[in-house]
Amino acid sequence: MLVLAMQAVVAFNLVCTAMQSQGRLEPSAPDGFRVERERSVTDVYRVDLQNMRWCVAECTRTNQIASVSGTEIILDETRHVATGVITTVSVNRETGAYIFSMHLGRLVDLRIGTCERAAFSGMPTLRF
């Protein structure tokens, strides 16, 4: 019973609801960003702070958590040299504020919203 209670503290799902704005960076646009599409989205992340792993949606593969502090979990903060994609995913541990941003040149996918903690639905089983 104690093991399950401890797991609930360090392993959990985050259900994040956000407004997704997709568009292009353009200096002439208001705020420097021209929105081409907006919609409401829900992203579900599985987070294991003990093993510093996370995954999203169906959880077909896990990723290393970029960093954890007392106030923030940064799931992803990567720059892929081969593709040029820059991705950042962060959640404020006090307010639940959620920011997802993905840039490919001038193309942008930005999600701003909030996350709620939910029951942990597990990680993929290791094969070896």
- Span 62-94, pLDDT tens digits: 999 999 999 999 999 999 888 889 999 999 999
| Averaged pLDDT for residues 93-104 | 96
Domains of the chain, with CATH numbers?
2-118 (2.40.160)
Closest Cα to residue 19, out of 116, 114, 115, 111?
111
Query: Is residue 90 helix, strand or coil?
Result: strand
pLDDT value at position 59?
Answer: 95
CA atoms within 13 A on the CB side of 81: 0
**Mean predicted confidence (pLDDT) in 95-106:** 95
pLDDT at 5: 44
Distance, CA of 105 to CA of 84 (rounded, Å): 7
Grade residue 26 by pLDDT with cuts at 50, 70 and 90: confident
Measuring CA to CA, how many Å separate 61 from each of 4, 17, 30?
23, 22, 38
How sure is the predictor about 10, in pLDDT bands with cuts at 50, 70 and 90?
Answer: very high
